[in-house]
């Protein structure tokens, strides 16, 4: 063999095999909370009181009177017929209904709900 001739002899060979493995990663926990807050506010409420008062009249009338209003008083006529040689209307009485408005302030409680979402992360060990 001449000194300038070289031979190549393979000594080792490497191969690569690539594959995937599924591993458990981070986990997340979601929790939802509902907060209830009770609030009190003043609310204006209106109410009406009614008072009845009967006023005796006993007046002879020719026709049926109409129900009427005088100020804040509702007047309801009550009529009866009586026997005479001729029939005649007698206004027996009037019912006066007086209405007054009462303005009062009351406390009203109600609930207000709000939701909060918490996310917590647990690391893989």
Query: What global pTM score does this model have?
Result: 0.41
Cβ–Cβ < 8 Å for 110, 39: yes
- The closest alpha carbon to 94, from 64, 115, 49, belongs to 64
User: Using one digit for the tens of pLDDT, what is the confidence trace for 3-32?
Assistant: 567 777 777 777 788 888 877 878 888 888
User: Using one digit for the tens of pLDDT, what is the confidence trace for 33-42?
Assistant: 888 899 999 9
Residue whose token pair is 């060979």: 13
Query: What are the structural domain ranges in the chain?
Result: 39-122
Structure tokens at 84: 């005479």
In angstroms, the CA 57 to CA 65 distance is 13
Distances from the Cα of 63 to the Cαs of 25, 60, 74, 81, in angstroms? Answer: 97, 9, 19, 11
């Amino acid at each position: 063999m001449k000194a300038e001739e070289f031979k190549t002899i393979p000594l080792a060979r490497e191969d690569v095999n690539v594959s995937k493995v599924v591993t458990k990663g981070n986990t997340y926990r979601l929790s939802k909370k509902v907060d209830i807050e009770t609030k009190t506010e003043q609310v204006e409420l209106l109410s009406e009181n009614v008072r009845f008062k009967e006023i005796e009249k006993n007046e002879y009338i020719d026709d049926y009177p109409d129900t009427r209003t005088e100020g804040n008083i509702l007047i309801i006529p009550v009529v009866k017929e009586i026997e005479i040689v001729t029939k005649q209307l007698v206004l027996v009485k009037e019912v006066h209904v007086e209405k007054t408005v009462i303005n009062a302030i009351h406390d009203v409680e109600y609930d207000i709900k709000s939701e909060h979402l918490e996310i917590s992360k647990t690391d893989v060990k």
